[in-house]
Amino acid sequence: MSWMARGLRGGVLTTRYPLHPDEMPDSYRGAFQSIASANQEQERGAAVCLSGAIFPGADRATIDRARCFQCGQCAREVPEAFQTSPAFELAVVQAGAEAARERLHARSRAFGRSVHLRHVDAGSDGSEEQELAAIFNPFYDANRLGIFLTATPRHADVLIVTGVVTKPMRQPLLRTFEAMPEPKTVVALGTSACSGGIFAGSATVIGPVSSVLPVDVMIPGAPPAPLSILHGLWVALGHVLARETTA
């Protein structure tokens, strides 16, 4: 009875995102942005970037969102050139955002009111899997949006791949993709899946997911927060526009 009373006092705690706005705490390291600064300061930021995601420019540096894993080192070392914000909507598309949205939205109409996800771990450290599992807990409750997990690729609409693709996982990943019915969408979840991250170039890996499969949407982060994953899935369904791959 005490648990029932506690639930009645607390009311509905499930987030209403993405149907209604939500936000992360101010301390959350989300989207990183470059500030107009001298080239020397930009180069200092690029030198301390652990993922090689910063490229100095004429006025401000360019940050490759697919490579950035939100460590915050650039903002700590060179705050006059780089800053962070709690923005969590980090999903990007490799093609033009508007064209990709139209393509994804047209494809998602075939899914009806429910979408089934098939997840494949191609070589992750396990952190992305924890955040992906969290979107199905009572607070995020992805099922309310008609998003479900499936154990078989033959019932899947969206393939979510975590981790850099290791050599032993290339064939299983291809077989999973080939077993999915048309139309199908591929989402790379996590910085390693998006760009290879710090594992790119290793002798034991092939590379990012895009080196094996045609990727529609990338959700960077190491790992991305559950709200970031919900945003990325909403982008994959063509409901909202994605960010550009660079900032």
Q: State mean pLDDT over 126-136.
A: 97
Phi first, then psi, for residue 68 (nearest 5°) are -65, 130
Question: How many whole angstroms separate alpha carbon 157 and alpha carbon 108?
Answer: 9
Element (H, E) at 163: strand 158-163
User: Which pLDDT value is given to residue 164?
Assistant: 96
Look at residues 26, 30, 15, 74 and name the one whose alpha carbon lies nearest to residue 224: 30
CB contact at 8 A, 25 and 247: no
For the chain, the average pLDDT equals 90
DSSP string, 170-208: HHHHHHHHHHSPSS-EEEEESHHHHH-GGGTT-TTEEES
Structure tokens, 194: 């998006």
User: What is the pLDDT, as a whole number, of residue 245?
Assistant: 55
Minimal CA–CA distance to 117: which of 178, 172, 159, 175?
159
- 3-state SS assignment for residue 215: coil
Q: Where are the alpha helices (DSSP H) in 35-150?
A: 39-48, 73-77, 97-108, 127-134
Least confident of 72-86, 102-116, 143-157, 219-233: 102-116
For residues 185 and 217, is the Cβ–Cβ distance under 8 A? yes
Which one is predicted more confidently, 66 or 168?
168
Residue 156's CB is within 10 A of a number of other CB atoms, namely 25
Distance CA(204)–CA(145), nearest Å, equals: 38
Which tops the pLDDT comparison, 96 or 181?
181
Pairing of strands 82-84, 32-34: antiparallel
Please check the confidence at residue 98 and state whether its pLDDT lies above 80: no
Give residue 107's pLDDT band: very low, low, confident or very high (50, 70, 90): confident
* Per-residue pLDDT tens over the stretch 194-212: 999 888 888 899 999 999 9
pLDDT tens for residues 63-81? 998 899 889 999 999 999 9
> Which 8-state DSSP code applies to residue 14?
S
pLDDT, tens digit (0-9, with 9 covering 90-100), for 5-37 = 877 777 778 999 999 999 999 999 998 889 999
Q: Tell me what the mean pLDDT of segment 84-113 comes to.
A: 81
